[in-house]
Amino acid sequence: MITVKQFEPIKEKMIAAGLSEAAYNKEVSFAVQMVNQNSKLRECPLGSILKAMMNIANCSLSLNPIMKQAFLETRWNRFTKSNECAMGVQYTGLADLLLNQGLITKLNTQWVYENDEFENNMADENMPIKHSRAWGNRGEKKGVYSIAYFRDGTKQPEIMTVDEINKVRERSTAYQYAIKNKKDATPWITDYDEMGRKTVLRRFYKYLPKGQGRESLDKVIDIENQDYGANHSQKMYISDLCKRANLPLEKIEQIESGLDRMTFDQAQQTIQHLKDNQVPDDPRYNGGAGSVTAMAQAANSAVEKERT
């Protein structure tokens, strides 16, 4: 059983992140309850629990169950082959960050069912979505939409079908582990509706202006991404790094062919590995070639030319 005393090593850091001592005591109390009431969380390394609590503080979220912002969950770490404690973010927590930090002024996110009346026209700036809920039996779920109202008065609609949401779900390492081991250990199983709403809400991230006011949101998105597959930016960066990588051609081909199967964490590790193995940008080292791979290909071409 975990105790309040075990959180003392991070007390000063959590307070430095913006929590008052009273708030720190409350968050630790919530954490102790969550961990001690969950046998899987109790099995997680203490270090991962403390890390999750630091993320709670750094992201300006709360474990207070009434607020429904964040929670502690177990996630399977493919590299350590063990479960670790991680911060989970609920739809309300993500919405609160967007609203409380002034990134948007209003938000409306709803599930749509087959018997509802639903129309969308993304080109209509005044009313891009019309939705009337059906009375009685609403039928099967069709998808989720969300409309964000930005500070300049513009509206940004987003729509995702159930199939699109499920594709995101399939990329979740926590969901994959839960299905493989037949355990309801992920919100994708226990709270599917809220996860669907949060998934479409995450799409507004790309429309937000850079700079101050979104630091906590940036941290949340980074932490959330760790449970999913490599994103587009990571894949593009890896492809670019491969062009100048000081690695055997077979290794480069292996990396490029496995891009679509990489998790977020695997992509981060691959990026660092490629950065540590880049050809110096100097003709003295690479003979003007873009990479060791390019050098090898050029040498092979020269040999073939001589033979002919």
* Confidence band for 122, pLDDT divided at 50, 70 and 90: confident
pLDDT, one tens digit per residue, over 70-87 is: 999 988 776 677 889 999
For residue 67, give the amino acid letter. Answer: M
Query: How does residue 287 score in pLDDT terms, banded at 50, 70 and 90?
Result: very low
Checking if the pLDDT of 20 tops 50, the result is yes
Amino acid symbol at 90 = Q
Q: What is the DSSP string of 188-221?
A: HHH-HHHHHHHHHHGGGGGGSPSSTT-HHHHHHH
- Mean pLDDT on 36-55: 94
Asked whether the beta carbons of 59 and 87 are under 8 A apart, the reply is: yes
Q: Which of 45-54, 60-69, 166-175 has the lowest mean pLDDT?
A: 166-175
Higher pLDDT, 184 or 21: 21
pLDDT digits (tens, 9 = 90+) for 246-286: 999 999 999 998 887 787 778 888 999 999 999 876 444 44
Please name every residue paired with 8 in a beta bridge, in sequence order, or none if there are none.
none
Dist CA 146 CA 129 (whole Å)? 9
Domains of the chain: which residue ranges? Answer: 4-88, 91-225, 232-307
Write the CA distances from 277 to 6, 78, 230, 245, 252, integer angstroms.
41, 24, 20, 6, 11
- Torsion, CA 186, CA 192, CA 194, CA 196, rounded to 10: 110
pTM: 0.74
Cβ contacts of residue 195 below 8 Å, gap of 6+? 91, 165, 169, 187, 188
| Burial readout 36-65 (b: 16 or more C-beta within 10 A, e: otherwise) | eebeebeebeeebbbbbbebbbbbbbbbee
Is-contact 256 263, C-beta < 8 A? Answer: no
**Of the listed ranges 7-21, 35-49, 128-142, 181-195, the one predicted with least confidence:** 181-195
pLDDT of residue 116: 96
